[in-house]
Structures are given as structure tokens and as C-alpha cells.
Structure 1
């Protein structure tokens, strides 16, 4: 999440219509028609009827009409911080009308802007001209999904921000044209789609255009070029569609909570360092998906959390497996009989390892601990795992399974605390309850049954771009 002293995101979204006709299927003719059509779209962007509307506010901006702005008290010299007040006022008025409670602590780290075209009076009164030709031709119409994001400072002037946004819109149109030229096949023209990626500092936010309908595995060379351009490691994905930045004002459609541990305070453990899961995962627990697995499905849920990590890091496009699909996988690899499917039998770390390998092609290391009291001595192994692999760890012992998301460990004293995601939770997706009641939280070594044996399934990250 962007901190206030670092600035906020301004995001412009809207559709611009790309339209052209083809009288020939020759590649050169098609390429020329596309270039001309994109130029026509660029003329729309530079016209006086091009308008920005700051979402949730009465603020409208005409960038190409001498930067006309309403309300009139806003000028090109108005700082970004003042624009936020108009959004806040509109939201508060809306809350009064709907009797909603307002979370005043929610950070406003993004300003959303609608891209619009004003309907001109001259265009309404113009007389249409009809031109008729008795020729076969192909007419192409598509909406270009403009989606531009920039990072701005709160004291930055509105006029400077608008100029920056206009440049980025033109740059995005140019990138879209290149994407269409590169990926079109005969008269099949893919829609160019923008994706935003928040890369490690000092790179920050970048935008990439990918063609709709072309899977990630066919875009490897493009990603390698980008990895080389931004000096990114070539052993893990940063720029797959699943790696795209999720803006804080957007909801996840599947209903699962994402990475709840990010809202926890760090544990107070003297002379320790944090070693945490790297990336996004979804929290899977008892009683989700209309499945009553209370009392037997904890390892299944932990496995689903692990699978979600590989999905959201872009290592797989497969959906997160259901209980039945997990059971079917274990039958397919010969680990279980057919009668296992549909049963309520527990599974453990070894079965989780087998399913990850069979369904996702993910290998895992197994760490065996003969009794829970020995887990306190495994700080180095766990710290090394989260430093190098960064994947969630499934741990099974006795009749219980949990997910380890990280450790706080002191190399000098050996003291350790474990960041635990507990799949035994049966309630709703209420982040406050989950954190306050410790279903996701830091646990001391006495959390484990000191006399039970434990197996830890430690998935290994594939070396791919």
C-alpha cells in the first residue's frame, strides 16, 4: 500500500473506440489501416471534447480547452491534496443519504478518474454524408481499454498531473498499436489490455500491454525482454498477469481474504529477524465453498492456501483444487483407493506433497520432526526456506494441520515465533475477527503439541520467468 508521504496513485480509465475498414487481407494494408485508426483515436484524445471526471467528486477537467476546470474555484495550481477534499465531501454526503457508517481511518491512496468524451453541439447538428461502394470489406470495431496509472505527490499541482496523464495516455495508445501489430494474425486482431505491476524499488509501478486471448506461456519472450530491461531476476515471475498489482479500492470477486498477515503487528522478540512468505495468497479454512469439512478438512484447506500462492504468483493458471479434486489426484497417483473419493478421511503433509506435484508440477521438501518440542530448533531451516523460496509451509501433526507463513527468529539466542494461518476457523470472512481471535497470528513454541510428531511440506519455487 502506498504511504501518504510517498504519494498517491492517480488512475485514469475509460474506453476509446478503434474503428476501421479493410478492403484487402494483405498484411501491409491491414497494418497501415491499424496505424491510421490509432492516429484517429489520438485525435480524439487531443480534441477539445476530451474530458476527465474525478470519480466521487463534481470535478471535471477539459485538458485541451486551456485546462478548463469545474468547479471554478479549482485551478491548474490547486494541489492534489485539495482535490481529495472534494472526493471526501462527496463520499460523506453519499454516506449521509444511505445511512452508512464511514471508516474514517481508511487511507485514500488512489484518485480514480473517468475518461470521457463530451458530445459536441456541432456534431449533433452536422448533416451526415452517405458513401456507397459495392465492394466486399471487413469492418473492425473494438474498444481500447485505456488504463493509465501515475504516482503523484500530494502537493503536486493539478495542471502538472493532468499533463503527465495526457502523456501517459498517448504512450499507452502507442504501446497498444505495437501490441496489435505484433500479435495480429491475418484479420484476427487481439484487444490490447493494460496491466500494472509494482516492481521492487527503485523501479516502482510500470504498465505493460498484453494481447487478450494470448496465454502467458506464449508471452515468455516479451517478459524476458522486460526482465532484462528492468534488471529483474530471471528465476521467478514478476510480470505475468497474475502478478498484476491489485489496487486497494478493488474487491476480490471470489470472496476469499487475501494475505491477512499483512495487517498484523510484528512480534516483540529480542534480537530477531522476520522471515515471511513472499507474495499473495488466499485464506482457506473450514466451512467455505458450501463444504462442511469441520473436523477433517484442515490439511485440504492448508493445501488450497498453498495452491492459491502458486496461482497468484503466476506459476499456474489452474484453479484452486476442491476437496474432490484433491482426493482424485491422490487416487490417480496410486496413493489412495477409489473409495477415498467422497470420503471424510484426513490427509497429511506427504499427501499434500503428492498433490502439489501431480496437479501443479511443484516439488516439495519434507522436514520431519519427531516431536513438537523439537520445532523450536528448526528456526534456521524455516528462515532459510522463507528467504529463498518464500512459499507457505503446510505442517501436519497428530490430527491437526496448519499453514506457516513465516518466523521471527534470533540466530544468536535461538528464540522463535511462528506466523500461523489456522484452517480450523469456521466463521465468515471477517478480517477483524480472524486477527483479533488469533486465527492468523504469531504463536510461541508452546502452540505445538510437544509430544506429537510433525511433518512440514515445504514447496519449492520453480525457476521460471
Structure 2
């Protein structure tokens, strides 16, 4: 599925449970597989029945797509109009809900979320329940299938057409769930299929993959390798690890940290220049977070935390972002510091960042040394090559200050250069507008650096793993 940067592109998503229930009256594998296949076939029939309902959450919009019944909308209503019922944080002057639009490259302009439900009330007379007792040894299998489908369409597409595409996607997902269930079935134990969405490099875009729930990424390496081959992806980046799952606009991260604040910035324009950026997702770590008062001494710790978050959120490592205390303990354990360093407010620099990354995460780093800040203007080629080949955030320390470099805009012909800086010295709340407008995350010129101070740059090297 290909996503392009256009306001007309719309992603329609439907989520909801379908109840999987069947009775296995035999331990025979062939017989069990046949019963499970029949159960999935019945579920696909449910999706095509008159009782399936698609609803816009937190709104009076309900749609019976298989019998052309529409509440608060009509079959010919453009999806763009249905978006107006979507609850967001933005409102117009009259207080009416407005659909939020995303314009970042590679993402959908808008996302219309629908819920999948089944109508309980059925037409006809109600019959009294009848109980029947049967003495039979059997296994009752019950599971809730977490249906989750996305389709790419346009804002001008009618809601009827979009619903038709969704029903087709749901049917296809049930077919894939059946295959996965039978493939991973152990005796009478079922592994629940788990739909996950991944945003792959252009021009592939957003794809949905089914993994068996409860099976680790390591155990799924063979399946992930097959996906790399299917989408012609290199084997040096873990695209399909669960930490890389795409977060939709209505699904904020639960830890409170901002992700990729640089993505809303406008790139500088240089004569014959190119922009080279950090690749992937990171968290912005800065002063005074996590109820730690580190104003004045913790900037390098925060820059290190941002780097660690990058490796964790790309799936290269499983370890959580270390605290200040854990960073200090790592330096003591590595033999770089003595016991009294623990609990202190002592600064660290690029060399210590390199040591901690290697000790805690097994990540190696290159150190780039400049004797004075004025030399940084000539390091465009080195930095551009780093972001092109490694894509990791860079920690730079000089004097008593530390910053994180997220990218460079550089012209090979003119030598012009701008640095994309994430400043860990920020002490406010997680306000994206303040952070970007006040320059805590922003593009800086060569004059940003102290022209006479020395600087060490720690350039983390990413592992080549799938």
C-alpha cells in the first residue's frame, strides 16, 4: 500500500472484535483443522451479513454497509465530510469538531477511524431458550479476534465505497488469520493472530502484517526475513519488530515523551544543498523530566537518553532508556568512574556516552574531535555521511554544554551548513509549539557553536540486524 504526501489521501481504519468459538470433538489434526476452517468461514459470512455495523467513535454515525442503512450520513457522503465527526483536539470558532490533518512526508493526510460492531437485536419473534445436555468429551475453543484493517482511499471517495473496501479488507484479514492459526496451532491450543501496521520506506508505505501473539520477535526471525524479501527490503534494519509498529495520530505514546519534534520543522534552503536527517523514531529527553532536578549538570545524560531511546524504538535493543543513576552505575561498572560518582551531579561528556552505549547496549561509537568550534563548519561531509549510512542521533559535547545533532543541511559546492539541534537544556513541559518556536528543537548555523571551544562528537553505529 503506497502513501503519498497529499491532502487528498485518506486512510480509513476499522477496528473491532470478532468472537471465535468452536467445539473440537476429536483430537484428530485433520478434523480439528476442518472445524477451525469452518469457523473462520462463518466469521467471513458474518462480515458479509446484514448485522455488521461500522460506527464513527464518539458520534451518532452508524452504518449498516450490507443493507445500505446510514445514520447521520448517506451513501454518497464524501469521506471528508464524515471526518467532521471525528473527535480531535482542534475546533473551529463555532466549537464544531474539525478533522486533524497530517502533512508529513510518507504519512496519510488524514485518518478516519471506524469501529466494527455486530447488531445484537435481530428481526422476528423471540423464542424461548432450549437447553440440551449432551455427554461428549470435547474441547471448547474461544478467542476474541482483534480485527484491525486499513485501506487507502481519498477524501472525495464516498463512505459507501470506503465501507465496501473495508469489508473486503476484513474478509481478507480473516483468511490470513485462518492460515496463521492453522500454521501455529499446537494440539488444541490456538495462538491469537495479532494485526500490526508498519510504515515502510517509500514507495511502499503502510502495510499490515499478522504475527502470532505471545511469540517473540526473535522467534519470528524467519517470518520477518520472508517479509524483507517480499517487500525487497535490506537485511540491516529491523523493519518488522514490534517496537516499529506505526502509531496513528489518535494513538499517542503513553509515556509522555515527545517523539520526533523535528518533523514539523521546515528545512533550510541552501544553494545546491541537501538535507541529511536522523532516521526513525526517538524520544525528546531534556532537563527536569522524570522528577529529576538536573538543571545545570544533566544535559549529556539527557542527550544519551535520547540516543538510547532511538535504539530501543527501532528495535535494535530491548533495554529501556537508562536513568541518571543507571548511567552512573554503568560508568562505575565499566571502570571509568569511582564509587563516589554514584548519586553525584558530575558532568559527563562524549567519551562517557560512548562507554555507556557500549556497556549497556553493546553499541559501538565513533568519536569525532575538533579542537575549536569554528572547525565544525568544515565537518559537513562527515556528518552527512553519518546520517546517510547510520541514521542515529549524534551527541556533541564541548566545555560544559551538550547537545544532540539530528541532521545537517549541507552544500558540497559552497560549504554552507546548518545543524538540526535538539537541545536538552529545555526545562518546560512537553509543548511541541513552544519547543519548536523557541528553538529548543531547530536549525542552527555555524555561529551556534563556541568558535574557540573544543568539541567531541559521539557518532553511534547501528547494528546490522534484521
- Whether these two folds match at TM > 0.5 is yes
**1:360-401 deviations in whole A, cap 9, x for unaligned?**
221111111122111111110000001111110011111111
Give the match for residue 106 of structure 2: none
Indicate the SS of the match to 1:441: strand
**1:64-99 deviations in whole A, cap 9, x for unaligned?**
22x22224x612x33323333455899969x97xxx
Describe how 1:253-272 pairs up with structure 2 within 5 A.
253-272=254-273
Indicate the SS of the match to 1:274: strand
Is 1:446 aligned to 2:447, yes or no? yes
Q: Is the 8 A contact 2:373 2:450 kept in 1?
A: yes
- Partners of 2:34 and 2:382 in 1: CA distance: 59
Give the match for residue 47 of structure 2: 45
- Partners of 1:17 and 1:103 in 2: CA distance: 34
Give unmatched runs, 5+ long, in structure 1: none
Is 1:343 aligned to 2:344, yes or no? yes
- Partners of 1:90 and 1:443 in 2: CA distance: 31
Change (3 A) 1:219 1:104: closer
- Partners of 2:231 and 2:127 in 1: CA distance: 50
Indicate the SS of the match to 1:306: helix
Q: Is the 8 A contact 1:55 1:111 kept in 2?
A: no
Change (3 A) 1:245 1:367: same
Is 1:462 aligned to 2:449, yes or no? no
Q: Is the 8 A contact 1:270 1:410 kept in 2?
A: yes
Q: Is the 8 A contact 2:85 2:99 kept in 1?
A: no
Indicate the SS of the match to 1:334: coil
Indicate the SS of the match to 1:217: coil
- Partners of 2:336 and 2:28 in 1: CA distance: 56
Give the match for residue 318 of structure 1: 319
Give the match for residue 215 of structure 1: 216
Q: Is the 8 A contact 2:56 2:85 kept in 1?
A: no
- Partners of 2:398 and 2:288 in 1: CA distance: 21
**1:428-463 deviations in whole A, cap 9, x for unaligned?**
001111111111111111211222221111111211
Indicate the SS of the match to 1:235: coil
- Number of positions where the alignment pairs a residue of Structure 1 with one of Structure 2: 458
- Partners of 1:3 and 1:282 in 2: CA distance: 24
Change (3 A) 1:61 1:36: same
1:210 shift after superposition: 1.0
Indicate the SS of the match to 2:218: helix
Give the match for residue 83 of structure 1: 82
Change (3 A) 1:169 1:341: same
Describe how 1:129-148 pairs up with structure 2 within 5 A.
129-148=130-149
1:165 shift after superposition: 0.8
Change (3 A) 1:57 1:262: same
1:337 shift after superposition: 2.2
RMSD between aligned alpha carbons?
2.5
Q: Is the 8 A contact 1:57 1:90 kept in 2?
A: no
- Partners of 1:35 and 1:318 in 2: CA distance: 40
1:287 shift after superposition: 0.7
Describe how 1:116-127 pairs up with structure 2 within 5 A.
116-122=117-123, 125-127=126-128
1:169 shift after superposition: 0.2
Give the alignment's TM-score, normalised by structure 1: 0.92
1:25 shift after superposition: 4.2
Give the match for residue 68 of structure 1: 69
Indicate the SS of the match to 2:452: coil
Q: Is the 8 A contact 1:277 1:391 kept in 2?
A: yes
1:345 shift after superposition: 1.7
Q: Is the 8 A contact 2:273 2:410 kept in 1?
A: yes
Change (3 A) 1:140 1:418: same
Q: Is the 8 A contact 2:16 2:117 kept in 1?
A: yes
Q: Which range moved further: 101-110 or 425-434? A: 101-110
Indicate the SS of the match to 1:387: helix
Q: Is the 8 A contact 1:2 1:8 kept in 2?
A: no
Indicate the SS of the match to 1:427: coil
Give the alignment's TM-score, normalised by structure 2: 0.92
Q: Is the 8 A contact 2:87 2:97 kept in 1?
A: no
